Structure formats: structure tokens, C-alpha cells
């Protein structure tokens, strides 16, 4: 997947279900096409296949479970994600934490299925441990800043810079995103300057009064 990337997590806000989620997905696609910046999305699981069939930008699942197809009512398999036309999945988001062995198994299975893995981490130590599994991306997000008004690039730039440094020393192929409090193009610009290859954000877009305008601003920060 081309970088820099802006990955918008829809989470499960009321603003993103059904037709409203599709409308936001199409706005993301429109801005991506207009600016030539890679904008990807992670819609609600209930809308994953519905949205993935109707847009051409990369679509991710918000999570996956470490199970094989078969018995597993209520679980989300990687095979199901693949069949939905999604390109990959978030793993271990701060709102849906996983044990390290499950993260390792999911990353391995993603490789087998040619899916992109975006493993979320909360600090440098966890980032280093996950880097040993060689996921496609690691997205470092200090939990205390998620959903807040201050970007990680201002509140804790060292966690971004040092995560990049430590991961590159372990596995140079792993690409790094950062998130938490990302709201505008300046935040994206700072993230890239700190060594990240993009950002992961949610409420800055999904709760915005004018998401198209916000997306354009975010994209401006990724344009070199």
C-alpha cells in the first residue's frame, strides 16, 4: 500500500452506520482522488463488505479474531475479511486489546492470505515486541491522547520518533503510523517529519461538522 497514508477508523459512532458510513467512505475516496493522497478506511464491521464493494480506496476491518473458519459464533475470521474485499485489518486497537500470542498468529495468517496487518501499540516496548512479528504496519497511539484535542505529534513527539528508530533497528520493512489526537494537516506533516509513514485517526473525521474539508486539510499535510 502506498504511503504516506491517512487511515480513518470509523469506530462505531452513530454517524457512520449504513448509508451514512458509505457517504463518508465516498468522501474519503473523493479527496483521495482529488489530492492523490492514499486515504484508507476502517468502517464498522457490520458495514465492511457493503462499503468495500462500493469504493476503490483501501478498506480495512477494525479487528480480527485468532480462530479458524467453523465454530465461532460472533467472531471475525481473516478468511471472512478477505472474502469481504477488504485489504487488511487493524489488530490490537487500544479499545480491543489482544494477547501477544494472538497478535503473532493474526499477523502470520495475514501474510498467508495476502492481507495488510496494522498492529496498534501503546508504547515503544510493545512496538518493539510486535516488530519481531514483521507486520505490515505498526501504529503507535498513546491511549491517554486518543480522542483528545492535542495531537501525539505535539504532546509526545518522542514516542513517534523513538518508535520509528527502535522498529527500524529490529525490522526495517515494518512501516510506522502514529495516532491519537490527530486533527489536521499540520499534525500529519509533523508525523511524517518525525519518521512516520502516515496516521491513524477517527473522531477528527467521523465527528467533524465538515468531514470533506477536514479530509482535504489532512491530505495537504501528506503532500510533499
Nine-digit cell at 189? 506533516
Residues with catalytic roles: 93, 141
Query: What does the pLDDT read at residue 42?
Result: 98
Query: What does the pLDDT read at residue 180?
Result: 92
Query: What does the pLDDT read at residue 145?
Result: 84
Domain CATH code at residue 43: 3.20.20.70
Q: Give the C-alpha separation, 137 to 118, whole Å.
A: 5
Residues 66 and 9: beta-carbon distance below 8 Å: no
Residue 96, Cβ density class (10 Å: 0-12 exposed, 13-18 middle, ≥19 buried): exposed
Residues 204 and 185: beta-carbon distance below 8 Å: no
pTM of the model: 0.96
Phi, psi of 89 (to 5 degrees): -150, 150
Nine-digit cell at 180? 491519537
Range of the domain at 107: 5-222
For the segment 26-68, what is each residue's pLDDT rounded down to a tens digit? 999 999 999 999 999 999 999 999 999 999 999 999 999 999 9
Q: How far is CA 57 from CA 38, 94, 154, 159, in A?
A: 8, 25, 29, 29
Helices vs. strands in the chain: H and E counts, helices first: 10, 8
For the segment 106-145, what is each residue's pLDDT rounded down to a tens digit? 999 999 999 999 999 999 999 999 999 999 999 999 988 8
User: Residue 190's closest CA among 135, 150, 145, 148?
Assistant: 150
DSSP annotation of 175 reads: E
Q: Mean pLDDT across the stretch 80-96?
A: 96
Number of domains in the chain: 1
| Start-to-end CA span in the chain (Å) | 17
Q: Give the C-alpha separation, 94 to 123, whole Å.
A: 11
Amino acid at each position: 500500500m502506498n504511503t504516506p497514508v491517512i487511515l480513518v477508523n470509523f469506530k462505531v459512532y452513530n454517524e457512520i452506520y449504513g448509508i451514512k458510513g458509505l457517504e463518508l467512505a465516498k468522501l474519503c475516496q473523493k479527496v483521495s482522488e482529488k489530492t492523490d493522497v492514499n486515504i484508507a478506511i476502517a468502517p464498522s464491521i457490520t458495514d465492511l463488505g457493503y462499503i468495500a464493494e462500493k469504493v476503490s480506496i483501501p478498506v480495512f476491518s477494525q479487528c480480527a479474531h485468532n480462530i479458524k473458519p467453523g465454530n465461532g459464533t460472533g467472531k471475525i475470521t481473516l478468511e471472512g475479511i478477505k472474502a469481504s474485499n477488504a485489504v487488511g485489518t487493524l489488530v490490537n486497537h487500544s479499545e480491543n486489546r489482544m494477547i501477544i500470542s494472538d497478535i503473532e498468529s493474526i499477523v502470520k495468517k495475514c501474510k498467508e492470505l495476502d492481507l495488510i496487518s496494522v498492529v496498534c501499540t501503546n508504547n515503544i516496548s510493545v512496538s518493539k515486541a510486535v516488530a519481531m512479528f514483521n507486520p505490515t504496519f505498526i501504529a503507535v497511539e498513546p491511549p491517554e491522547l486518543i480522542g483528545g484535542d492535542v495531537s501525539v505529534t505535539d504532546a509526545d513527539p518522542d514516542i513517534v520518533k523513538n518508535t520509528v528508530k527502535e522498529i527500524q533497528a529490529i525490522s526495517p520493512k515494518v512501516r510506522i503510523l502514529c495516532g491519537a489526537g490527530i486533527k489536521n494537516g499540520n499534525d500529519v506533516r509533523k508525523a511524517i517529519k518525525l519518521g512516520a509513514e502516515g496516521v491513524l485517526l477517527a473522531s477528527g473525521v467521523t465527528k467533524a461538522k465538515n468531514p470533506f474539508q477536514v479530509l482535504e486539510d489532512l491530505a495537504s499535510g501528506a503532500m510533499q
